[in-house]
Amino acid sequence: MTQHFSYQDDTLNIDGISLKELAIEYGTPLYVYSKKALVENFRQYADTCKRFESDKIHSLVCYSVKSNSNLAILNILGQEGAGFDIVSGGELQRVIAAGCDPRKVIFSGVGKTANEIGLALKHDIHCFNIESFAELHRINQVAQEMGKQARVSFRVNPNVDPKTHPYISTGLKENKFGIPYEEALACYKAAASMTNIDVTGIDCHIGSQLLDDAPLLEALDKLLHLVDQLSEEGITLKHIDIGGGIGITYDDEKPVAISDYLTRLFTRVENWRKQKHPDQSIGLMFEPGRSISGNAGLLLTQVQYLKTNSDKNFAIVDAAMNDLMRPSLYEAWHKVLPVSNRKGEATSYDIVGPVCESGDWLAKQRELVIQADDILAIMSAGAYGMAMASNYNTRGRAAEVLVDNGNAYLIRRRETPEELFALESVLP
């Protein structure tokens, strides 16, 4: 539990505001975020980067929109100077709607459509991260039809094991992402010959929830070797994008400190630049998501019933797998805290939701002292929580509240049943 979430008079608070009062005012399920935590997490990246910037080294921290795409959160980070890493045209439109600069957007993802490419070119985004040779041709074609130059980098798959969950590993040969390391040189040569392509950088993202930076630095070394090869071929790159992936603490994990990781990375790049390319300027780009938004938010849910089947105890709550998919999707672990800290003997409960699936659970075997109607806080839910939510079982998605300087703001209201089927129609 971070300094932003603490018990006061046996009631869990967020930055000094009672979570019980927020649950009463806005209902549950309810996502609650701390602006202070969000900004502090971003500044861990931004402030460390600033320490290493010079006339030869510059940087841009591009928040991964897919981790949490609420407009208020994007707006806050945009005001902090963030760029944005997107994976769809819809996410680009979110960035623009939040009042942020599309020229600080990098567009990743393996399946960009012609319409999405055209939208990105129209708004003059910073760069496309290309993930296949076929995508290169499509971007060149769309740019040609629009009379524009498309700035591109290739997402290179370095075949580095990130030692994380297989569902969030993206840098191995068997993953769908990026182009194989061995094919990168040929792809860059082809791109450099295209009239409507401006080759500007190289990209890599090997996975998510990394606790150790050794795999990231190993991937960086491979990218630097490739940049040297490209330079020998007359292709000079303007930036290196090392991706994101630094993990957070869900239980007792001890992820590498962001400042320590960035210090090692900048030092390695600067030593390489001085030895190999002393006259060249280079930009470093990063794509953090979870490490910015993850521990800045939680999900509040109310206990509906306590139930015992033989020797198994269940706390049936009003949040479900459609509200927080991570536990059902890959057995992710989230700490569960009672908002009201009761005294008494704890009982082991599985925290389950009302959705009609056996996979609808939020936590298993948690020792809790709780009663029906109590409020529980599912911690570390600020990333890939609301962003992955669905309307399964015709359940409206949760409301979202952001706490800032002693005030709570509703940044997304709860969906109504009528809104869920407003786009549908019956046959005449």
All structural domains of the chain: 5-34+294-420 (2.40.37.10), 109-286 (3.20.20.10)
User: Distance between CA 253 and CA 61 in Å, rounded?
Assistant: 24
Q: Tell me the per-residue pLDDT of 34-44, one tens digit each, with 9 for 90 and over.
A: 999 999 999 99
Q: Tell whether residue 278 is among the known ligand binding residues.
A: no
Mean pLDDT of 55-61: 96
Catalytic residue among 49, 127, 187, 356: 356
Tell me what pLDDT residue 176 has: 59
Tell me what pLDDT residue 175 has: 57
Tell me what pLDDT residue 170 has: 44
Tell me what pLDDT residue 223 has: 94
User: Distance between CA 392 and CA 340 in Å, rounded?
Assistant: 30
Tell me what pLDDT residue 167 has: 42
Q: Tell whether residue 27 is among the known ligand binding residues.
A: no
What is the Cα Rg of the chain in Å?
A: 23
Query: For this structure, is 204 an active site residue?
Result: no
User: Distance between CA 305 and CA 372 in Å, rounded?
Assistant: 5
Q: Tell whether residue 384 is among the known ligand binding residues.
A: yes
Could you tell me how many residues make up the chain? 428
Q: Tell me the per-residue pLDDT of 290-342, one tens digit each, with 9 for 90 and over.
A: 999 999 999 999 999 999 988 899 999 999 999 999 999 989 999 999 999 99
Q: Tell whether residue 255 is among the known ligand binding residues.
A: no
Q: Tell whether residue 288 is among the known ligand binding residues.
A: yes
Instruction: Kindly report the pTM of this predicted structure.
Output: 0.95
Query: Which of 304, 217, 326 shows the shortest CA–CA distance to 261?
Result: 217
User: Distance between CA 72 and CA 217 in Å, rounded?
Assistant: 33
Question: Residues near 224 by Cβ (< 8 Å), separated by ≥ 6?
Answer: 240, 268, 269, 272
Q: Tell whether residue 234 is among the known ligand binding residues.
A: no
Average pLDDT over the chain reads 94
Crossing angle for the helix pair 133-146 and 184-192, to the nearest 10 degrees: 10
- What confidence category does residue 418 fall into, taking pLDDT thresholds of 50, 70 and 90? very high
User: Distance between CA 403 and CA 7 in Å, rounded?
Assistant: 16
Could you tell me what percent of the chain has a pLDDT over 70? Answer: 96
User: Distance between CA 318 and CA 195 in Å, rounded?
Assistant: 56
Specify the residue for token string 């409301």.
Answer: 399
Q: Tell whether residue 326 is among the known ligand binding residues.
A: yes
